[in-house]
Amino acid sequence: MNVTPRTLADLAKGSLVKKKAALIEALTGQFEEHHARLLRVLLATVDHLTAQIQELDRLIAHTLEEVTTPRDAGAGPSAGGVNARVLAEKLDAVPGIGPATAQIILAEIGADMSRFPTPEHLVSWAKLCPRTIQSGAKNTTGPAGQGNPWLKGALGEAANAAARTDTFLGARYRRIVKRRGHAKALVAVARSILVITWHLINDPDAFYQELGADWHQRHLNPARKTRDLVRQLQALGHQVTLEPVSA
């Protein structure tokens, strides 16, 4: 097979499509037969790994079809025997969670929420809640702990993706990051995602409903909003005096 610089440039994708002339110039006289042999080896490796990934995806999909939540009458709302594939689709509707992330979450926490009586139990097990350290009469907070690394990794990716959306979770990140920083804001969003996950798995009739990025503004207590605005003006060096509006 005669591989020319133009042939290679025609394989360009994405933004490189607009730079074919530069690619041809860069490849001219520098791509020889031994480069082609090495490239064939690398492409064969990519094809082999792609085939393995496709087989694993098939096995995961087959497993999701087989797994259901328990039908124990004492297990609460989750006793309906919901298919795991349906649960994965419900989780996929949450901002930041994609099909692969939903599969990881189900694989790590399972489809049976009877082990976690409340969302707080699941959050504590996942080590996504602050740890209180008590010494005498003094209470301080400490690191949350390691927890399940695969679950925390998946939730971290989901939180990072949700933080960039114009949704309730995205607005939650932007509210917290201003006073607590990026890392703590992401943990807070990950915790919210896990709480939502508990409800979606525990109740077969529950589905994710987006509250909107302005939910906090619509439900903010007027007195608290006033205090926040006064605090912001004082931080800018202004003296604020509040007077009631006459009827």
In this prediction, residues 33-60 reach a mean pLDDT of: 91
- What does 180-232 look like in DSSP terms, one character per residue? H-HHHHHHHHHHHHHHHHHHHHH-TT-------TTHHHHH--HHHHHHHHHHH
Residues of the chain above pLDDT 90, percent: 38
Instruction: Give the whole-angstrom CA distance, residue 50 versus residue 101.
Output: 19
> Model-level pTM greater than 0.85?
no
pLDDT, position 45? 96
Q: For residue 244, how far is the Cα from the chain centroid?
A: 45
Beta bridge partners of 134: 139
Spatial neighbors of 69 by CB under 8 A, at least 6 apart, are 75, 78, 79, 80, 81, 82, 84, 87, 111, 112, 113, 201, 204
Query: Per-residue pLDDT for 123 more than 70?
Result: yes
Backbone angles phi, psi at 241, to 5 degrees: -125, 125
pLDDT, position 77? 46
pLDDT, position 116? 92
pLDDT tens digits, 178-234? 888 999 899 999 999 999 999 999 988 889 999 998 888 787 778 878 888 888 888
To the nearest whole number, what is the mean pLDDT of the chain?
84
What DSSP designation does 163 have? T
pLDDT tens digits, 51-78? 999 999 888 888 888 766 655 534 444 4
pLDDT tens digits, 110-121? 888 888 999 999
Contact predicate 97/193, CB 8 Å: yes
Backbone angles phi, psi at 68, to 5 degrees: -135, 160
Backbone angles phi, psi at 110, to 5 degrees: 80, 175
Least confident among 11-20, 114-123, 140-149, 165-174: 140-149
Instruction: Give the whole-angstrom CA distance, residue 191 versus residue 169.
Output: 11
